[in-house]
Amino acid sequence: MGAEMSFELTQLLRERKLIRIKPDRKLVIKEINGAESDLDTAKGSLGDQNFKWATVQGYYSMFHSARALLYSKGFREKSHRAILTAIRELFRNKIDLSLLDSFSDAMDLREAADYGLTYSETGAVDVVKNAEKFLVKAKEILKITK
């Protein structure tokens, strides 16, 4: 990352919602493995028509994919919203805006499912489908083949 840092990242660092860490490939791989596991579980929940848990697990697959990306750049988040902002800034030229929007949507759907017990089959299917796309993109960026 160059000397120039966006206002958004500077603000997150100032507020301690984002902290600097040493980039660690082992942490990156651990998060990708977590994303794969959550995605597999989410697909199983979809098959069982357990749409609340499919939504939650699909979101967490995306979260762990995003965390792997963040770790690769030497940052760690202290809030879910901070990770979304950081990923938008750090990977703006590598991840399509629609995929980042799907991460934001999944975050909202997960919160609704977890805290409001509001969820649907359509929402769950969308979250799981987008979690798979997000994981594929993260692995591509991180050059992880498996």
**φ and ψ at residue 16, rounded to 5 degrees:** 65, 25
Residue 135 pLDDT greater than 70, yes or no? yes
Residue type for 77, please?
Answer: E
Banded model confidence at residue 1, pLDDT cuts 50, 70, 90: very low
Contact 42, 61 (CB under 8 A): yes
Residue 2, pLDDT above cutoff 90: no
Instruction: Decide if 23 contacts 67 (C-beta within 8 A).
Output: no
Closest CA to 77 of 126, 8, 1, 25: 8
CA dihedral 16, 36, 40, 19 (to 10 degrees): 0
Spell out the domain ranges in the chain: 7-142
CA–CA distances in Å: residue 141 to residues 36, 123, 131: 16, 27, 15
Q: Does domain 7-142 have CATH number 1.20.120.330?
A: yes
Two tokens, residue 38 = 């959550």
Q: Write the pLDDT tens digit of every residue in 74-109.
A: 999 998 989 999 999 999 899 999 999 999 999 999
